[in-house]
Structure 1
Amino acid sequence: MTFLAIAVFVTAYALIAADRINKTLVALTGAAAVVILPIIDSDDIFYSHKTGIDWDVIFLLLGMMIIVSVLRQTGVFEYVAIWSAKRAKGSPLRIMILLVLVTAFASALLDNVTTVLLIAPVTLLVCDRLEINAAPFLMAEVFASNIGGAATLVGDPPNIIIASRAGLSFNAFLLHMAPIVAIVMIAFIALLPRLFPGSFTVDANRVADVMALEEHEAIRDRGLLIKCSLVLAGVFTGFIGHSALHMAPSLVALLGAGVLIVISRMERSDYLSGVEWETLLFFAGLFVMVGALVKTGVIAELARAATEITGGNALLTTMGILGVSAPVSGIIDNIPYVATMTPIVAELSTSLGTDQHSNVLWWALALGADFGGNLTAVGASANVVMLGIARRAGNPITFWEFTRKGIVVTAVSVALAAPYLWLRYFVFG
C-alpha cells in the first residue's frame, strides 16, 4: 500500500507540474485512485484530523470567497486600485512594492488565504487600468503573504498547529518570528526588479488617464459598503481572537458570509459568482492524496529519517529541520507536513533538554514550513487560491512559471533564516 500511495501521488504531482491536464481533474482522479485501491477509506477522508480533508481550510475559503463576492459589488476594489495607482504615481514597480507591503502586513493579522482573496481584485483592477500583465503582481503578493504570515500565530495555518502542540503564545511568535520576517521582506522587495524583469513598462498615456481618475466616484453602493465594513470588522476580530472565543476561523468566515447574505439581500447568483469551486475541489483531492501518504507512514518516515541523522546535536538538528521543512513543505501542502512533524519535534525538544534549544526547533519548523510554502504552486493554500484567481481573470500562471520564481524566493528566505537561528539562539542566545 505504501508503494501505491507514493506512485499515485508522484504521478499526480508530475501531471500537475506538466500543466497539460486540468489540475483539479488530476487531483480528484488521484483521490479516487487511493480510495478505490483501497489505501484510504471514508472515515480517514471525512473524519480524521491527520489523514482527512481539512474542512477548516475548505470552509474558510468558501466563507471568504462569498464575502469578497458581495464586497466587490460596492466598488471598493476599484476605489483602492485607483488610490494605490495614484499614490505610486503610476509606477508599476512602486505599485508592486506598495501592494506587497500591504499584503505582508495584512497576512500577519489575518491568515494568508484571506489576504490573497482581498488583495487580488484590487491588483487585477490596477493592472487593467494600466494595461499591464497582472501575473507578476499576483505572484509577488502571494510570496509576500507566505512571508508575512510567518510573523504571527494566526498568519499561517502551520503556525496555529505548532502553537497548539508546543504551547506557544501569540506574543512568543511575534517576538521570535517577526524580526526575521522583516529582514526577509526587505530582501524580497530588493529582489523584485530582478525577479520580474520587463514587468514594469507602462504606456505614459495610461498613467495620465489613471492619475486623472477620481477614486471616490468608484463607490457604487455606499450603504452596502457600510454593511460589508461592519461584517468584515466582526470577521477580522473573530480571526484575531479565535482562540479566546473558542471558534475556528472557518466558522467565523461562514458566519460572516451568512450574515452578509441576509443583510445585503443579494441574489444567489451574485454572492456565489466569486466562489472558486475548482479551487475548492482541487484542495479536497490534494488533501485525500496527502492523507494516503500520512496513513501509510511515508511522511513520518521521511521526517524521522531526516531528523535522526543529526545525532542529538542541537545546532545540527535545528538546521536539519529548517533545511528539510522548506523543500518538503513546498512539494506537499505545508499543513499536513507540520501536523506530521510536530510529534517528532516535540520528542527532539524533550531530548535536547534546555528551553533555549528546545524552542528553537519549533521556530525552525515554523520558518521552514512557512517560507517553504513559496517553493511551488501547491506548497501553500494561498498559492493555489491565487493561481485559480489568475486563471479566471485571464492571466494564467503555469506551475513552472510560479515555481521558477518560488525557488529563488524560498532559497533567499531560508538562506537568511539559517544565520538568524544560529546567531540568535546559539551565539547570542
Structure 2
Amino acid sequence: MFIFAPGETAQLSVKHSLGENIAEIATLWLFLLAAMTFVAYLNKKGMIESLMFKLLPQSIGERPLMFLTAIFCFLFSSLADNITATLCSIALILSLQLPLEKTVKLTVLVVFAVNSGGVALITGDVTTLMIFLNGKVTIVNLLLLSFPSLIAVLCLALLLSRGLNGTIEIRHQTTPVNRVDTVIAAIFLATIAATIIGNVAFGIPPVLSFLFGLSVMFLVAYFYKEDIERDPIMDYIRLIEFETLMFFLGVLLVVGTLQKIEVLTGVTALYEQLPHTAANYLMAILSAVIDNVPLTAALLKSDISMASGQWIVLTYAVGVGGSLLVIGSAAGIVAMSKVQGLTFATYLRFIGQLLIAYTIGFGGAFLVGQLLPVV
C-alpha cells in the first residue's frame, strides 16, 4: 500500500491508518499482558488450585457438582483469561476420575461457562475488551450483561444434570500459600475494582489502571524479597500465552489493512438485509466456525451503525457463540486437547442443549439492551 500509493496524500493516509491500528493493538496487548501476568503468578503459586479445593466439600452429589462447576467457571473466567480458567477447571474434573460420559458433560459445561463468564468484564474476554475499547459499550452496561449470561449457564447445567444422581468423593489437595501470594491476589482484585471505578468515575483507560496495578505487584514482590534469583518476579511475564498475543497482532493488522482497502464493506451486508437482532444472533453461528477475534475486529472496522443496546447483544453473541462448537473458541480447543474422548462429534451431541442455553442468554442480553438509553 505504501509502494503503490498514487501520491503523497494517499501515502500519508496509509501511514495515519497504520498508526491508529498499531495504537489499538498496543493498548490491547499491554492490557492483556498485565492481566495475564497476574494470573500466571497466582496459578504457578497454587493460589487458584487451593481456592478451587476450598470451595469443594469432601463429598458432593453429581448434580450439585454440576451447578458448582458452572458458577465457579463463570466467576473465575470473568477475572482470568479463558485459557487459564479452562485449564484449571479441566484439571479439577480429570482429578475426579469420572466415567467418560460424565467427564464430557462437565467439560461441555466448562467451555460454555468460561465463555459466558468472560463477556461481562473486560478482563474476561478479548472480544468484550475490543468492543469496549472501540467505545461501543460501557463497563456499567457490561456488568448488566452478567445476569443473562449466568442464567444461561445455570440453564445448561440443569439440562446436562439430567440422569446424574451419584455422589463423588473428592481428594483435597492443598498447596501452602505464602503471605506475599495473598497480598498479590488482593492487589489483583483491587486492580480490577479500581479499573471499573476509575473508568466509570473519571474515564481512566483500563490499560493504565492495570499497568499501575502490575507495577504495584512488582514493588510488593521486591518488598517481600520475593524477587530472588531462583524465582524472579519479572520472569512471570514470560509465562503468559505469547502465542495468543502474536495471533492477535497478526489478525488485527490484517483486518486493519482490509478495512483500509474497503474489503470489509461486505461484512455489513448482513446487517443491511436483516434486522440487527437477527444479524447479531447469526454472528454466534459464524463465531463458532470462524474465530471470534477476527470476526469482531472485522465488524468493528466496518463501522456498523447500531444502538448501544444492540452492541450489548453482539458482545454476548460473539463471546458465547463460539461455545456451540468445540472448535469455536480457545476454551473448546484447550478442552479437546486435555480430555481424551472429547471430539468434534461427541461435543456436537450436546448442540441442542447448547443452543437452548445460548438462546436464553441471547434473549436476556436483548432485554438488557432494551433497557439502555438509545445512543
Question: TM-score, with normalisation over the residues of structure 2?
Answer: 0.69
One-letter identity of the residue aligned with 1:255: S
Q: Which of 278, 301, 315 is residue 366 of structure 1 equivalent to?
A: 315
Choose from 318, 321, 333 the match for 2:277: 318
| Corresponding residue of 2:287 | 329
Q: More deviation in 265-274 or 92-101?
A: 265-274
The answer to whether the 8 A contact 1:333-1:379 is kept is yes
CA contact (8 A) 1:330 1:379 kept: yes
For 1:426 and 1:220, the matched residues in 2 are separated by: 48
2:124 is aligned with 1:124: no
Q: Which residue of 2 aligns with 1:183?
A: 151
Q: Which amino acid counterpart does residue 80 of structure 1 have in structure 2?
A: L
Alpha-carbon separation, structure 2, partners of 1:399 and 1:309:
36
Distance 1:127 1:51, change over 3 A: closer
Alpha-carbon distance, 1:418 to partner? 5.4
Question: Which residue is 2:128 aligned to?
Answer: 159
Task: Indicate the SS of the match to 1:86.
Answer: coil
* Paired residues for 1:3-402 under 5 Å: 48=22, 55-56=29-30, 59-60=33-34, 62-72=36-46, 76-77=47-48, 79-86=50-57, 89-108=59-78, 110=79, 113=81, 117=84, 120-121=87-88, 124-125=91-92, 127-128=94-95, 130-132=96-98, 137-152=106-121, 155-166=124-135, 168-175=137-144, 177-193=145-161, 207=169, 210=171, 218-241=174-197, 243=199, 244=202, 245-248=204-207, 251=211, 254-255=214-215, 258-259=218-219, 261-262=221-222, 263=224, 264-265=226-227, 267-268=230-231, 279-285=241-247, 287-289=249-251, 291-293=253-255, 295-297=257-259, 300-310=264-274, 316-323=275-282, 325-342=283-300, 344=302, 346-347=304-305, 349=306, 358-377=307-326, 379-380=328-329, 382-383=331-332, 386-387=334-335, 391=337, 395=339, 400=344
Most deviating of 333-342 and 254-263: 254-263
> 1:242: Cα distance to partner?
5.8
Q: Secondary structure at the match of 1:172?
A: helix
1:304 deviates by 1.3
- For residues 50 and 127 of structure 1, the distance between their equivalents in structure 2, rounded to whole angstroms, comes to 39
Q: Report the equivalent of 1:404.
A: 348
Unaligned residue ranges in structure 1 (runs of 5+): 2-42, 311-315, 350-357
Is the CA contact 1:99–1:141 (under 8 Å) kept in the aligned structure 2? Answer: yes
d(CA) in 2 for partners of 1:156, 1:148 = 8
Q: Distance in 1 between matches of 2:221 and 2:64?
A: 36
Letter in 1 for 2:88: P
Distance 1:83 1:337, change over 3 A: same
- Identity percentage over the alignment? 14
Would the aligned equivalents of 1:326 and 1:371 in 2 still touch at CA under 8 Å? yes
Which secondary structure does the structure 2 equivalent of 1:90 belong to? strand
How large is the RMSD of aligned CA atoms in angstroms? 4.6
Amino acid at match of 2:152: V
Distance in 2, matches of 1:153 and 1:282, equals: 17
Task: Measure the CA separation in 2 of the matches of 1:45 and 1:341.
Answer: 20
Q: Is the 8 A contact 1:104 1:149 kept in 2?
A: yes
Question: Which residues of structure 2 form unaligned runs of 5+?
Answer: 2-16
What is the SS of the residue equivalent to 2:323?
A: coil
Residues 182 and 227 of structure 1, relative CA distance in 2, 3 Å threshold: closer
In the alignment, the residues of structure 1 paired with residue 26 and residue 244 of structure 2 have an alpha-carbon distance, to the nearest angstrom, of 14
1:320 to 1:52, Cα distance in 2 relative to 1, 3 A: same
User: What displacement does 1:308 show?
Assistant: 1.6
Partner-residue secondary structure (3-state), 1:373? helix
SS of alignment partner, residue 149 of structure 2: helix
CA distance in 1, matches of 2:32, 2:176: 31
Amino acid at match of 1:400: F
Alpha-carbon shift at residue 370 of structure 1 (Å): 1.7
Q: Tell me the TM-score normalized by structure 1.
A: 0.62
- The number of residue pairs the alignment matches comes to 346
State how far apart, in whole Å, the 2-side matches of 1:146 and 1:423 are.
Answer: 20
Q: Is the 8 A contact 1:104 1:145 kept in 2?
A: yes
Write the distance in 2 (CA, Å) between the matches of 1:326 and 1:123.
24
